[in-house]
Amino acid sequence: MEFEGPRPLEASEIRAAAQLWYDGWYEAHLDIVPASLTALRTLDSFHDRLAGARAQVSVMGSVGAPVALCQVNRDELKQLFVAPEARAHGVAAKMIADAEARLDRGLVWLACSVGNDRAARFYEKHGWRNRGVVEIQVDTSEGPYDLGVWRFDKLL
């Protein structure tokens, strides 16, 4: 199965990409993050975050029906999600390659929820190193939220 992209996220598909992110986030995080954070992760919150960061986001899939997304910001890979139907087709590998090409050169990093073992294995397979648990602030509709995460890094 072939999927188009990676390509920039178009404004017309922010709602569809937000749904992809929302579904993927809940699948990966529902049982491993505090309920107080889960309560803040509404579909509208994902939509608003994507709308504000559209220039940083790449997607795969036909226009209007993204099956994967990644967001980068300078030296940070901020988000990487792949729909179940696109897994095992090389989509995640293409998305991380796209992210790495768009990141600043030097030491780059990403945050992975503690307990998200599938994602951790994927990052390690692609040369990222788990540096242990660190405390970061994640964005929410109610402001920054303190969360312990695994910090991964890679020298590009």
Which CATH code is given to the segment(s) 7-155? 3.40.630.30
Q: What is the pLDDT of residue 36?
A: 97
What are the tens digits of pLDDT across the range 62-110?
999 999 999 999 999 999 999 999 999 999 999 999 999 999 999 999 9
* Residue ranges covered by each domain of the chain: 7-155
Among 76, 80, 73, 85, smallest CA distance to 96 is for 80
In the predicted model, what is the mean pLDDT of residues 105-123? 98
pTM as predicted: 0.94
Which two three-digit tokens encode residue 39?
């309560």
Q: In terms of DSSP bridges, do strands 65-73 and 57-62 run parallel, antiparallel, or are they unpaired? A: antiparallel
Provide the CB-side half-sphere exposure for 131 (13 A, CA): 12
Q: Tell me the pLDDT of the chain averaged across its residues.
A: 97
